[in-house]
Amino acid sequence: MDELDTAIVRELQRDARQTNRDLARTLGIAPSTCLERVRGLRERGVITGYRATVDLRALNRPVQALLAVRIRPLSREVIEGFKAYLMTLPEVLSVYVVAGGDDFLVHVAVPDVDRLHAFLMDRFSGRREVVDFRSSIIYQHVAGEAFVPLE
């Protein structure tokens, strides 16, 4: 990753729908150079895809929470099975397998606090491998706009 690759990644994170010509103009490079660099970033796995950012409120999912979950027994099979189960749930936005006191952090979005409670009771409390979970409602979520290589 050189400075130009970093600038391309930053600009595509800002607006992935811009044309190659607009991206090249913003960066002050030839469109052919820009296209070649973007293809190279995809081939090297730096750019793995493009996605739309959505407003969860507009999708009737304004309540977000982080769920800290402990499971037992801790085995590859149980961890992979629980992770696969979580990814089937439409309320789940992302899953993190973590070290420390908890085994998973799960980011969910639901319509209201009652639905969060129902989600926890229906989807977590009945699972044999779940031995403990805690929920933290998210008041505000501030995310960085772009990710760039660190020195």
Task: Write the pLDDT tens digit of every residue in 30-61.
Answer: 999 999 999 999 999 999 998 888 899 999 99
Going from N- to C-terminal start, the domains of the chain cover: 3-43, 63-138
Note whether 68 and 104 are within 8 A (CB).
yes
Class of domain 3-43: mainly alpha
Residue 111's contacts (CB-CB under 8 Å, 6 or more residues apart) are 60, 61, 62, 63
Residue stretches of the chain with pLDDT short of 50:
none
pLDDT value for 126: 87
pLDDT value for 78: 96
The CATH number, out of the four listed (2.40.360.20, 3.30.70.920, 3.40.50.300, 3.30.420.10), of the domain defined by the range 63-138: 3.30.70.920
